[in-house]
């Protein structure tokens, strides 16, 4: 997309996306990736086992509890949390490197992580993805062949708890259908990029022929 003639240097933005399981987060994130190929997506470290379809290094770095604890002790996580009895953490280095270069960075993390990131990176933008209804969330969770009933029940209870935190977020998006949800996220990303407070240096290239027109008047 050709946007403006300005090339204003700005800070990279940290976008936080939280969504309870079954909200359609993965599909929405894939849609975002297509729309914004230049945006980096954080790859978290986790102690949970890979599920079928998970690709190590792309979806998560799958590590042992002892390795996770060692990384935590060395301060290598920008945030970390226990989710569904497993540890999850966002590595600090790729995040800092990306925003330092002015590149936006997306985090798919839970509400505990969102709270920590907002504290450390106050300019971060947090977005909560909601299911259209409880009935729909139950139906979507039930369709996951990889999880058993006990896990589904626990995920539903966690979702209920997570959704109670929606008021701590900057934006919400209801995932009624994928096009609408990705469209809303796109609008948020584009608007946040236009915030004056994020601009580090202001530049406006002269319009073609403008100087001639000016000298004639
Ligand atoms: P799943 O295991 O189903 O991929 O993810 C479970 C939950 O953990 C999701 O709500 C996801 O957003 C969250 N999660 C994934 N990575 C991280 C992370 O690095 N930090 C935190 N706090 N939550 C994470």
Instruction: Copy the structure tokens of residue 61.
Output: 């770095």
Chunked into runs of 10 residues, the chain (217 residues) has average pLDDT values of 60 95 89 93 97 94 98 98 94 96 95 97 97 88 73 85 94 96 97 93 74 55
**Can you tell me the distance from the alpha carbon of 40 to that of 164, in angstroms, rounded to the nearest whole number?**
28
Q: What length is written for the chain?
A: 217
pLDDT value of position 20? 87
**Gap from CA of 213 to ligand 1 centroid (Å):** 57
Are 128 and 20 contacting, i.e. CB atoms less than 8 angstroms apart?
no
The pLDDT assigned to 108 comes to: 96
If phi over 0 gives left and psi between -120 and 50 gives alpha, with beta otherwise, what is residue 102? Answer: left
Residue nearest to atom 23 of ligand 1 (CA): 109
End-to-end CA distance of the chain: 34
Helix (H) / strand (E) element for 215: namely: helix 210-216
Atom of ligand 1 nearest to the CA of 17: 12
Q: What pLDDT score was predicted for residue 212?
A: 60
pLDDT at 153: 85
Residue 108 forms beta bridges with which residues?
Answer: 17
| 38 CA from centroid of ligand 1 (Å) | 22
| Residue-level pLDDT at 66 | 98
Q: Which residues, 6+ apart, have CB-to-CB distance to 212 below 8 Å? A: none
Residue 91 bridge partners (DSSP) = 77
Q: What is the CATH number of domain 14-42+104-216?
A: 3.40.50.300
> Residue 4's pLDDT is what?
45
Dihedral sign, Cα of residue 109, residue 111, residue 116, residue 119? positive
What does the block give as tokens for 48?
A: 């949970």
């Amino acid at each position: 997309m050709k946007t403006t003639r300005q090339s204003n240097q700005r800070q990279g933005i940290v976008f936080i996306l939280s969504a309870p399981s079954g909200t359609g987060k993965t599909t929405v994130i894939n849609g975002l990736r297509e729309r914004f190929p230049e945006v980096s997506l954080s790859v978290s470290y986790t102690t949970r086992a890979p599920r079928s379809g998970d690709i190590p290094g792309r979806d998560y770095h799958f590590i042992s509890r002892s390795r996770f604890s060692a990384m935590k002790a060395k301060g290598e996580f920008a945030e970390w949390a226990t989710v569904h009895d497993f540890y999850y953490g966002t590595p600090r280095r790729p995040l800092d490197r990306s925003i330092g270069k002015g590149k936006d960075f997306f985090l798919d993390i839970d509400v505990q992580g969102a709270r920590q990131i907002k504290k450390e990176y106050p300019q971060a933008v947090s977005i909560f993805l909601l299911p259209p209804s409880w009935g729909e969330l139950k139906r979507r969770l039930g369709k996951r062949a990889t999880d058993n009933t006990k896990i589904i029940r626990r995920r539903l209870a966690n979702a209920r708890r997570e959704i109670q935190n929606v008021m701590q977020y900057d934006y919400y998006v209801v995932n009624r259908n994928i096009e609408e949800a990705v469209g809303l996220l796109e609008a948020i990303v584009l608007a946040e990029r236009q915030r004056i407070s994020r601009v580090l240096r202001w530049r406006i290239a002269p319009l073609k022929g403008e100087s001639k027109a000016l000298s004639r008047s």
